[in-house]
């Protein structure tokens, strides 16, 4: 299944890809064979869902949980503070958003 070469899978059990390069707003990229439009520009190191993730499900990176989905996440969607929350301490971003 085709996946954009800018997406890096760190571990076979992961539910997210990591960007190895930036992706511009509006680009259509391949994620495991599906064509996904990226609405906002994403930088190096950001994450994209490998498959659809249900709200409350663990999100796995490096083969280990990095928190839970705080909302349903579509395959290919950006995974970050708006839809991923820590199982430890809340994360505070610059805009005051809490994950």
Partner 1 sequence: MSAMRGWLRADGRKGIRNHVAVAYLVECAHHVARRIAGEDAHLIGFPGCFPNPYAQRMMARLCTHPNVGAVVLVSLGCESFDRDMLERAIRDSGRPVLVVTIQSDGGTRESIAKGRDWVAAQMAALAKAPTVPVALSDLIVGTVCGGSDGTSGITGNPAAGIAFDKLVAAGAACIFEETGELIGCEGIMADRAATPALADALRAAVDKAARYYATLGYGSFAAGNADGGLSTIEEKSLGAYMKSGQSKIAGLIKPGDIPPRGGLYLMDVVPDGEVRFGFPNISDNAEIVEMMASGAHCTLFVTGRGSVVGSALAPVIKIAANPHMYRRLAEDMDINAGAVLEGGATLEEVGQAIFDKVRAVAAGDETASEAMGHREFILTYKSFEPIGPACLPV
Catalog residues that contact partner 1 under the rule CB under 8 A.
5, 8, 10, 18-21, 42-47, 61-62, 64-67, 79-81, 84-89, 91-94, 99
| C-beta closer to partner 1: residue 34 or 99 | 99
CB of 25 to partner 1, least distance (A): 16
Please tell me the distance from the alpha carbon of residue 82 to that of residue 97, in angstroms, as a whole number: 8
Residue 78 Cβ, how far from partner 1 at the closest point, in Å? 9
82: CB partners within 8 A, 6+ apart: 70, 71, 97, 99
């Amino acid at each position: 299944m085709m996946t954009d070469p800018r997406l890096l899978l760190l571990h076979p059990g992961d539910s997210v890809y990591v960007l190895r390069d930036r992706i511009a707003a509006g680009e259509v990229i391949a994620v495991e064979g599906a064509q996904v439009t990226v609405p906002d520009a994403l930088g190096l190191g950001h994450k994209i869902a490998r498959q659809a993730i249900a709200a409350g499900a663990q999100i796995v990176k490096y083969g280990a949980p990095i928190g839970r989905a705080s909302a349903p996440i579509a395959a290919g969607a950006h995974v970050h503070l708006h839809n991923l929350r820590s199982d430890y301490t809340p994360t505070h971003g610059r805009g005051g958003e809490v994950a």
